[in-house]
Amino acid sequence: MNDHIVSRGWQANFTDDHTVSILDVVTGKIVDDTRRIKSNFARPDFLTYLDSEGNPVRDVDDAFTKVERKVLNRVREIRVGNCKAEHRDAVAELFGIHLVRSDALRVAKLRLMGETAADYPARAERSEAVREQFIATLGRPPLPGELETMAWDWQKRQIETNEFFVENLPSMQQKMRDMMARYHVQVIEAPEPLPGFVLGDVPVVHANLLQQRYGFRDRLALGDCDYLAAPLSRRVAVLFTAQRLPHAVLATKKTVSKFNAVTLFAAHREVLCNPADVLHVKRLWAQRDRFRSSGPLAGR
């Protein structure tokens, strides 16, 4: 089953006919002029793992889908003149889901497991807490090397079943949601005739622009970012800010380009745009370093 790493409901906010144009951020080429959002930003069984009997488990995707259905309608209400506490909380829910349900986090988890894999079984063998848990569960002390063998088997199973990625995503999402809910939301709009916002396969950008580090790809924790934002639709975007900042209707193409450039730099492989914005996105990619920001965009 295809799991959307960016929900179809969110993607639908960028199109009138359920098709979007796709730019490859590595080559700068438009790889699809009219891709259906039904198949866009989707990965086979991304949030599925196998239980101990080999049965597929999709509890996490089902839970996230229910939350998305509830919050997307509230998110669509957000405008410069309409952003209340309940809107901020809905955005925090949506952002939290997409921060954890991402290629970037999966790669980061794989990297961490790879870095600790060689040492973990030996540490498990020496751990008194692991030994005590073994005795409490099986009623006997472990044989020499048994804990180490079990640790190797556990690591192998985590990778083969995808459980290493899925298992703690709900708790991670809740922590991120609660962190964001403590901040303010600034709404910005890009009215006609300005080009619209673009949405990446990493839709929620958390970055340290001063250091030019982008998300989990660059080992950046959410609490260490100086920029946290995403477009909600082709014409509306939001930023989480420590201080309350006035909402703004953007007046220049340059400001839209600076916001969109951050999305390009943060993307894993692709960004989508409304087909009417293809020319803007292609030109922006070619000049992206010109619009690179080294400090927070909020308030500009």
- Residue-wise pLDDT for 177-232, tens only, equals 999 999 999 999 999 999 999 999 999 999 999 999 999 999 999 999 999 999 99
The residues with which 44 forms a beta bridge, in sequence order, are 2
| pTM listed for this prediction | 0.86
List, for the chain, all residue ranges whose pLDDT scores fall below the cut of 50: 299-300
Q: Within 10 A of 250 (CB to CB), how many other CB atoms are there?
A: 19
pLDDT score of 191: 97
Q: What is the pLDDT of residue 300?
A: 44
The alpha-carbon radius of gyration of the chain (Å, integer) is 21
Q: Please give the pLDDT value at position 151.
A: 67
In angstroms, rounded to a whole number, what is the distance separating the alpha carbons of residues 92 and 106?
Answer: 20
pLDDT score for 118: 67
Quick: pLDDT tens for 12-37: 999 999 999 999 999 999 999 999 99
Token couple for 250: 């953007």
